[in-house]
């Protein structure tokens, strides 16, 4: 069984939401990844990807996390430190690895349309996967919303009959609210969704080819286990059609042309960068410069500057121990506590307003630039052309296998 939780159709989404899908076009394509890899002497610091995630919710990143520790240090200390230790353990990637993912998966989305060919001439076709595919996504995920996680199905199939002819079993489960991280590491998600997938793997594996939705609901209180031994959820598998996927909000033809223009601009900027700027960057970069680039990353500095590596911070630990021993929590009727809570709410509202205005600016500017007929014409995209995203055709042996699969079903 293939369990998918990441986007295969990176640009799909709903207008007015999921502003991150516009950032690639806003930055002019994938050349910044090449720049950061070259400055890192062939190494890409994945802390920049974490920064993109943090910027999605500036109120939580810059205020709420720290404020919760300030208000309830005894209760929040362990949770906060454990999360930050895990979250701040940044990884690095090879530059070629990051650039390949950006060029082939994020900008252009060549995987879901069958455009990736291996060095030995084999085209990677998702329709050749015969084990059940389970796509787990969430409406609360602002990085990989259901439109992105499931739009690859529309790229590959024109009807449910084609799915059956290819002998594929595609399942999807949509959670109403969990966020991007919780899909992978949330304990409640593991107890509910992941556990149900595992417990019902044999059922999933025996289903006939087709498109299905996995619906997980809590059992009534009377049936719920009080000892934690029985399963507290019911799982049902329901037939679905491609119209159900479209109803989630797929891209319009106008959106597809805009993203196609962004992909062409990315190719142009990559060529300009590699021709005129990359040789100079590589000439001045080296192990020392690469180490400095990584160490001076703003996210890494957020962890290193307050550490006791710096003489000015060495007095903080003894002061913290003293405050911890002498701390007396304020009473609930303290007027300064009410002022503090009101100030915190004002900060959260202000940062949320900044986020909403920023996201609206990013989306509007993207549509204004890449939706321009002049820009699209300069990129070789005409309004009279067929949809710019190519639909993958089937190889002869795939068609023969599909004909063979029709028989048993």
Name the residue ranges covered by the structural domains of the chain. 2-306+337-406
Is the pLDDT assigned to residue 5 strictly greater than 50? no
DSSP string computed for 144-194: S-HHHHHHHHHHH-SSHHHHHHTT-EEEEEEESS--HHHHHH-HHHIIIII
* DSSP assigned state of 390: P
pLDDT in tens, 151-162: 899 989 989 998
Contact in structure between 299 and 50 (CB atoms under 8 Å): yes
pLDDT in tens, 335-379: 999 999 999 999 999 999 999 999 999 999 999 999 999 999 999
| 3-class SS of residue 398 | helix
CA dihedral 251, 254, 260, 266 (to 10 degrees): -100
| 3-class SS of residue 57 | coil
The per-residue pLDDT for 11 is 61
The per-residue pLDDT for 400 is 73
Mean pLDDT across the chain = 88
| CA atoms of 63 and 212, how far apart (whole Å) | 41
Average pLDDT for 264-278: 96
Q: For the chain, what percent of residues have pLDDT higher than 70?
A: 90
**How many Cα atoms within 13 Å fall on the side-chain side of residue 104?**
13
- What are the CA-CA distances from residue 115 to residues 4, 56, 169, 354 (Å)? 20, 31, 22, 39
Residue with tokens 């701390």: 327
pLDDT category at 397 given cuts 50, 70, 90 is: low
More confident residue, 18 or 72: 72
345: exposed, middle or buried (C-beta count within 10 Å: 0-12, 13-18, 19+)?
Answer: exposed
174 bridge partner residues: 137
pLDDT in tens, 182-197: 998 888 899 999 999 9
Is the pLDDT assigned to residue 12 strictly greater than 70? no
Please enumerate in sequence order all residues whose Cβ is within 8 A of that of 402, keeping only pairs 6 or more positions apart, or say none. 165, 166, 167, 394
Task: Return the number of other C-beta atoms located less than 10 Å from residue 310's C-beta.
Answer: 10
pLDDT in tens, 287-342: 999 999 999 999 999 998 888 888 888 888 899 899 888 888 888 889 999 999 99
């Amino acid at each position: 069984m293939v369990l998918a939780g990441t986007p295969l159709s990176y640009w799909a989404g709903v207008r007015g939401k999921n502003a991150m899908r516009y950032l690639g076009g806003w930055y002019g394509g994938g050349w910044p990844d090449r720049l950061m890899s070259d400055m890192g002497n062939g190494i890409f610091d994945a802390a920049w990807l974490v920064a993109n995630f943090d910027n999605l919710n500036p109120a939580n990143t810059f205020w709420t996390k720290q404020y919760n520790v300030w208000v309830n240090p005894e209760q929040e200390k362990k949770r906060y430190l454990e999360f930050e230790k895990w979250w701040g353990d940044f990884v690095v990637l090879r530059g070629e690895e990051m650039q390949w993912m950006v060029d082939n998966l994020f900008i252009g989305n060549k995987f879901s349309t069958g455009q990736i060919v291996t060095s030995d001439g084999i085209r990677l076709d998702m329709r050749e996967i015969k084990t059940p595919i389970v796509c787990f996504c969430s409406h609360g995920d602002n990085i990989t919303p259901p439109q992105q996680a499931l739009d690859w199905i529309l790229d590959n199939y024109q009807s449910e009959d084609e799915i059956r002819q290819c002998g594929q079993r595609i399942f999807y489960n949509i959670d109403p609210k969990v966020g991007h991280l919780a899909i992978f590491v949330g304990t409640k998600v593991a107890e509910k969704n992941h556990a149900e997938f595992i417990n019902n793997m044999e059922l999933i594996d025996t289903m006939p080819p087709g498109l299905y939705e996995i619906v997980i609901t809590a059992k009534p209180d009377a049936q719920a286990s009080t000892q934690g031994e029985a399963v507290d959820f019911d799982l049902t598998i329901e037939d679905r059609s491609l119209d159900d996927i479209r109803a989630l909000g797929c891209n319009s033809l106008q959106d597809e042309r805009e993203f196609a223009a962004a992909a062409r601009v990315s190719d142009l900027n990559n060529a300009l960068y590699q021709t005129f700027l990359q040789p100079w960057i590589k000439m001045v970069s080296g192990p020392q410069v690469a180490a400095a680039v990584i160490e001076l990353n703003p996210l890494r500095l957020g962890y290193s500057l307050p550490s006791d590596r710096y003489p000015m911070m060495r007095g903080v630990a003894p002061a913290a121990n003293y405050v911890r021993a002498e701390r007396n929590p304020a009473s609930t009727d303290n007027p300064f506590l009410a002022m503090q809570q009101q100030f915190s709410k004002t900060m959260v509202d202000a940062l949320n307003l900044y986020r909403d205005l920023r996201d609206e600016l990013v989306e509007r500017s993207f549509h204004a630039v890449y939706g321009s007929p002049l820009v699209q014409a300069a990129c070789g995209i005409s309004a009279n052309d067929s949809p710019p995203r190519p639909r993958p055709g089937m190889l002869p042996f795939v068609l023969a296998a599909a004909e063979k699969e029709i028989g048993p079903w």
